[in-house]
């Protein structure tokens, strides 16, 4: 499997006018998936380790998997068509009846939250990774701009 997929991490989550931009990539390339605000917030909260008063939908799904004895193996962003990304969640279930691997169709945004919550790998199909636009420079520019904007504000607060 290692040659047909690329392991990626979340490089950043940024709000946009219509939702959030989730930057994913490895050391060679970064690309972006646009998600709605609620899932973008769930990704950011999970990355920050934020505690929630009540379980969100992704927390509920994780609890259900645990209760059923299923274990999230990994996720794969396996396709991109006309700007829409597709993903698969691979679950492993083992009980007294035996072992079973279940593959589910899912939105990449939901898959990413579950993988982050359960500290499981996020993969992108090589065919998808090779065709997406490299956004590394744009992410670096935005992060640099945010850092520069944050510095004067910090100095003002110190006064």
- pLDDT by residue for the chain (159 residues), tens digit each? 457 999 999 999 999 999 999 999 999 999 999 999 999 999 999 998 888 888 888 888 988 888 888 999 999 999 999 989 999 999 999 878 889 999 999 999 999 999 999 999 999 999 999 999 999 999 999 888 888 887 554 444 444
Question: What stretches of the chain adopt beta strand conformation (E)?
Answer: 5-16, 19-25, 30-35, 70-81, 84-95, 98-106, 122-125
- pLDDT at residue 122 in the model: 98
Task: Say if strands 30-35 and 84-95 run parallel, antiparallel, or are unpaired.
Answer: unpaired
DSSP 113-125: HHHHHTT--EEEE
Roughly how many angstroms between the first and final C-alpha of the chain, as a whole number?
Answer: 55
Report how far apart, in Å, the C-alpha atoms of 154 and of each of 9, 48, 142, 147 are.
29, 21, 18, 10
- pLDDT at residue 145 in the model: 85
Cα–Cα distance for residue pair 64/144, rounded to 1 Å = 40
- pLDDT at residue 153 in the model: 46
Q: What architecture does CATH give domain 5-158?
A: Roll (3.10)
Residue 93 DSSP code: E
Residue 24 token pair: 């994913």
User: Do the beta carbons of residue 45 and residue 37 sit within 8 Å?
Assistant: no
- pLDDT at residue 2 in the model: 58
pTM over 0.75: yes
- pLDDT at residue 156 in the model: 44
CB count within 10 Å of CB 144 equals 10
Cα–Cα distance for residue pair 130/6, rounded to 1 Å = 10
> 50-87: string of b/e by CB count within 10 Å (b at 16+)?
eeeeeebebbebbeebeeeebebbbbbbbebeeeebbb
């Amino acid at each position: 499997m290692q040659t047909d997929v690329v392991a990626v991490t979340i490089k950043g989550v940024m709000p946009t006018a219509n939702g959030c931009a989730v930057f994913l990539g490895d050391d060679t390339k970064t690309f972006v998936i646009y998600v709605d605000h609620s899932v973008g917030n769930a990704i950011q909260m999970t990355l920050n380790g934020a505690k929630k008063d009540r379980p969100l939908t992704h927390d509920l799904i994780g609890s259900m998997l645990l209760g059923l004895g299923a274990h999230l193996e990994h996720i794969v962003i396996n396709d991109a068509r006309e700007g829409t990304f597709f993903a698969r969640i691979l679950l492993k279930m083992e009980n007294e009846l035996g072992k079973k691997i279940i593959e589910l169709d899912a939105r990449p945004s939901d898959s990413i939250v579950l993988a982050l919550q359960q500290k499981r790998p996020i993969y992108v199909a090589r065919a998808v990774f090779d065709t997406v636009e490299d956004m590394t420079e744009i992410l670096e520019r935005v992060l640099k701009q945010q850092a520069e904007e944050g510095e004067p504000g910090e100095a003002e607060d110190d006064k």
